[in-house]
C-alpha cells in the first residue's frame, strides 16, 4: 500500500490490485461540517471581525481547508482565521490590526 498527499488534508491510498480510496473520507466530511457550522455562526455574530472572517471563508469555500482553527490546546497560541490549500489568511476589520 502506498500513500500520496492530495489537495488539502486527504491522501489517496493505492492498494494491491489497483484499487484506491480516500483515507479518512468520513473524517474529512465531519471536519467540513464542523467548519461550515463555524462559518454560519461567524456570519450571525455581532462582532464585525467575526462576520468579515465568515464572509471571506464563504467567498473562497472551494479552496477552504479550515476556518477559525485553534492553535495549541484551547487556542493558547492563537487561531487561524481562514486556511486554504495555499495560504493562511488573518482577517480584521480594524485599520490598526489585531495586535494589542
Comparing CA positions, the residue from 34, 10, 32, 14 lying closest to residue 23 is 10
Give phi and psi for 12, each to the nearest 5: -100, 135
Does the model's pTM come out above 0.85? no
Q: Which runs of E-coded beta strand occur in the chain? A: 2-5, 11-14, 20-22, 64-71, 78-84, 88-89
CA trace torsion 90, 91, 97, 100 (10° rounding): -70
Taking the domains of the chain in order of start, what are their residue ranges?
A: 25-100
pLDDT per residue over 40-84, tens digit each? Answer: 999 999 999 999 999 999 999 889 999 998 888 877 788 889 999
Give phi and psi for 97, each to the nearest 5: 90, -175
Amino acid at each position: 500500500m502506498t500513500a500520496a498527499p492530495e489537495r488539502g488534508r486527504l491522501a489517496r491510498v493505492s492498494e494491491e490490485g489497483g484499487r484506491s480510496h480516500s483515507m479518512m473520507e468520513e473524517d474529512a466530511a465531519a471536519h467540513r461540517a464542523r467548519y461550515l457550522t463555524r462559518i454560519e455562526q461567524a456570519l450571525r455574530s455581532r462582532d464585525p471581525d467575526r462576520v468579515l472572517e465568515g464572509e471571506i471563508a464563504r467567498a473562497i469555500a472551494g479552496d477552504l481547508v479550515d476556518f477559525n482553527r485553534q492553535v495549541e490546546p484551547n487556542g493558547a497560541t492563537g487561531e487561524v482565521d481562514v486556511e486554504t490549500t495555499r495560504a493562511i489568511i488573518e482577517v480584521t476589520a480594524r485599520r490598526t490590526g489585531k495586535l494589542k
